[in-house]
Chains A and B, each alone.
Chain A
């Protein structure tokens, strides 16, 4: 099981601070596909980054069960 932290608009789309994916190992690209299929609204925002263990991840990066994963919608600090 992979737990995904959701912030900002992602938290509203998932309606929770945490989403779950039934997998032990998944690429960032496949996680995006799965999230976009489970929650169509993700395809209607200005994209999002995925962070793994608090670092921005590339699409080919592999996520393992136990990694800290987060969906990072467009940031707007400052």
Chain B
């Protein structure tokens, strides 16, 4: 029997280890690693490597912009972006690592539960960028410095303003069960997208699985990525999105496309997107430089300005047109819960939505 891949057993073993680990966690925890600055020596070493592979679940256009900006600031280091849905990024890294392929340098996902697995597997390198230690709230980075929250995502509702009048637009998840929305909604899939995985977990927890069962009867169009649902309402393919990347709705609206965001009354699902450097990264210095730079004030402000995402960096400034995070009623994120239930969620979801 092969040992070079995960089995469900490994996951189970891992969960057990995790529970045991949690009991003894406090006394055994290593000291927080010292915060690292971008030093000339690091830049020099990174330039020698000349490249890095950035696996991410963020919207492709932005991921490429981020890569280009880094390349402009540190000429001679090429960033190769490897984008797919967070759950597929997670699958990809798992599949590659179990075949002993260490190709990923830095990862940015949209599902904190992934970091639980990677951390447990011992795949992550401790690295705490200077700005993170100084300007990030403690809940936004791992106490051992293994991963840092890069961006904060909300998964609101959205609609196409050509197809739906403002006064008719749904205001809550409950509104979506109205027969008038049957066949008019689009939804992401938790087996592909980390944002949707978290959103599904939170909706099922707060509103109950029977809500999703009722929703499935509304003939919802199913797409994969959380970054696709805003595109589908912008095209006018469906009138309303049930979940997806709120930042894209904001961005498309600012570009003049006919979309509008709705923060549902029951609360808006939340997913924070962590980044990490891999211990076996083929370009360890370039990886650290990128991780450090990505959480610097400049890059984080770029994240806010260009990608319209929420930043955990205390010094970033949000435009007044966007509702600040603190004014949105948020559902509670629970990475441990997602970690424990991910497989069950995927299975149950597939039973309900038939895909």
Is B one of A's binding partners?
no
Chain B residues in the interface with A (C-beta under 8 A) = none
